[in-house]
A and B are shown apart, each in its own frame.
Chain A
Amino acid sequence: MSTLAPPRSGHSRPPRTDPERRPRRGTRRLARREAGFGFLMISPAVLFVAVFTLAPMVASVALSFFSWDVITPPRFVGLDNFERIVGDDAVVSSFGTTLLLAFGIVVVQLVVGLGLAVLVNQRRRPAAKTFFRTTFYLPLLASTAAVSIFMGYMFDMKFGVINYYLNAVGLPSVPWLTSTWGAIVTIILIAAWQQVGFTFVMFVAALTSLPTDVLEAAAIDGAGPVRTLFGVKIPLISPTILFAAVVAMINALQLFDQPFIMTKGGPGTATTTATIVMYQTGFQNLQFGYASAIATVLLVIILAITGLQFLAARKWAFYR
């Protein structure tokens, strides 16, 4: 140890993280009292998060290795549940459906949200900006249950207003919720319709805070609006795009309410998502162990996709 090392007084000194943040002034007793106060302050939040998030997280993974019907005690079955998932076409296809729906929803949400944000950002009048911002955010305020109910009526094959207007302009009726692809497209459109406001608001905020000097430089270099958008603006807001994509994807992979209420997962199993299968397996058939295994696989998928998004971001997201 070098002679320059500070003298060590006492043996249980509290760790001094970021020393410049607070001048060192306390005696050991003061520091201990401060620590006690800190623990007291975090204890309510820690208690609830530990009991209702952290413990369930561990328990959920642990439960995947058991067979449990709630009535008889849990029985350890090792990897049986996971083997069963691999051979269970209904579960495997529900993961496919989940990915397909989530991918569709996120792409629509990002593209439409970005497009609208760019257009709103070009408006000059503040009143116009406020109007569009409010308008595009409004659908987010309705509950997914409410949206599923009214959209279910609007997309009705026979009586729905959507098909009425299609017919009015000479197009045939579309079996929106009663055909496989119709239901998939409709669920994507409805979920994206509601969620677009989220990406839109984030992109508007990011575009508004772009540095003017960079845009001026682009203009002086003779870049037109399109070049500026794809060459300057989008790269500059790419961290926001990444963040929006990650959050939207985590949400979309948990899609439940809309297909559960509108199509009951149908027609057939066309819109049966992983969360719907989990709900049926766990809360209707009382196979809690098997349902936990499905939940664990879904969690791994969500974490993997989120990780992939961050990895991919290294290629295109620029941080300043």
Chain B
Amino acid sequence: MSNQLILNGGGLAGRFWRGVGLVVLLLAAVVALGPLLWTLTTSLRTPAEAFTNPPKWLPVNPDFGNYSAVFQQVPIGTFLLNSTIVTMLIVVGQTITCTLSGYAFAMIRFPGRNAIFGIFLATMMVPLQTIIIPVFVIVKTLGLTDSLGALVIPALGSAFGTFLMRQYFMQMPLELGEAARIDGASQFQIFTMVYARMAAPAVATLAILNFSAFWAEFYRPLIFLQSQDTFTLPLGLVGLQGNLGTGSISVVLAGVVLAMVPSVLLFVFAQRYFIEGVTAGSFR
């Protein structure tokens, strides 16, 4: 509070500049939301008036026909299901592997711990795009091409996830585990009954970041998947756009809106963790 009072002052000039600031912010909000609102309203127009300008910004008489049309014209139900399966398996899988490894790197002493963790940190800096060819070869060798496994299995472990979980476990007091040990708990019990339960916020952060990343993924599906019944939503939508040409963009946009709904809903419910996840690691 005092922070802002100092900066803005109480004078007329201060008030004027705060007003200007608000106008700029509102304009920026229009720019940020405009395309999303346009997409939503256009998806509710009949294909015939999809291209008419100016767009109707408020959906008066919305036509939900495009939403049923998108289900008829492409197997969008299958895309939705595929995306859900892939995303969920990766989220659950990474939660398990990263919680285990993050805990071990933070709390357990074993030879080579720091060296192995150092290698993990180094791999975090290598972009997927630059190693995709060998990954493709491995996926092909394992016979996973054109299956959802091609997307899931390579993503089950993560250096970033391990790092995130380790950071969180590092803050936890060692005394709790020692007390449990004196009470006769085994190593594994100490992990599951004491520390893993306290890691819920970090698990939520990782799960949410993974959800939004893998739900939106386009590059790996493009390379690994060939037949339409294995397509995930982003790939399916781009295919849909190609199939339909320019005739009925409303139908394509109905698909786009459907694809965005789960992420937006998740964001509404888990805003805090989204923000936490993005800012994690930016300090220090």
- Which residues of A are at the interface with B, using a C-beta cutoff of 8 A? 14-17, 21-22, 31, 33-39, 41-42, 44-49, 51-57, 59-60, 63, 112, 115-116, 119-124, 131-151, 153-154, 159, 161, 164-165, 168, 193, 196-198, 201-202, 205-206, 209-210, 212, 215-216, 219, 225, 228, 239-240, 243-244, 250, 253-254, 256-257, 261, 275, 278-279, 282-283, 288, 291-292, 295-296, 298-299, 302-303, 306
Least Cβ distance of B174 to chain A in Å? 6
In chain B, positions 235-284 with a C-beta closer than 8 Å to chain A are: 235, 237-238, 241, 249, 252-253, 256, 259-260, 263-264, 267, 271, 274-275, 278-279, 281-284
* Cβ-defined contact, A306 with B125, below 8 A: yes
Residue with the highest number of chain B CB atoms closer than 10 Å, among A37, A52, A124: A52
- Provide the B39-55 mask, 1 if CB < 8 A to any CB of A, else 0: 10010000000010111
Measured CB to CB, the nearest residue on chain A to B131 is A56
**Contacts A37-B108, A201-B279 given; 18 further ones with Cβ under 8 A?**
A38-B110, A44-B157, A55-B134, A56-B134, A60-B133, A60-B134, A139-B32, A143-B217, A143-B260, A145-B234, A147-B35, A149-B252, A154-B38, A202-B279, A206-B283, A225-B7, A240-B283, A299-B127
CA distance A38 to B68 in the complex (A): 52
Instruction: Provide the main secondary structure of the chain A interface.
Output: helix
CA distance A52 to B98 in the complex (A): 15
* Cβ-defined contact, A45 with B132, below 8 A: no
Given contacts A14-B110, A17-B113, A17-B114, contact A146 B279 (CB under 8 A): no
Measured CB to CB, the nearest residue on chain B to A153 is B249
* Cβ-defined contact, A56 with B138, below 8 A: yes
Measured CB to CB, the nearest residue on chain B to A209 is B283
Least Cβ distance of A31 to chain B in Å? 7
A31: B residues at CB distance < 8 A: 109
Interface CB pairs A-B, < 8 A, 24:
A33-B187, A35-B111, A41-B191, A44-B156, A45-B120, A45-B162, A46-B157, A142-B36, A143-B218, A143-B233, A149-B256, A150-B38, A151-B35, A159-B51, A161-B38, A161-B55, A165-B54, A168-B54, A201-B275, A216-B2, A228-B7, A283-B223, A292-B133, A298-B130
Partner of B282, one of A37, A134, A196, A244: A244
Is residue B71 contacting chain A, with contact meaning CB distance below 8 A? no
* Cβ-defined contact, A138 with B104, below 8 A: no
B217: A residues at CB distance < 8 A: 143
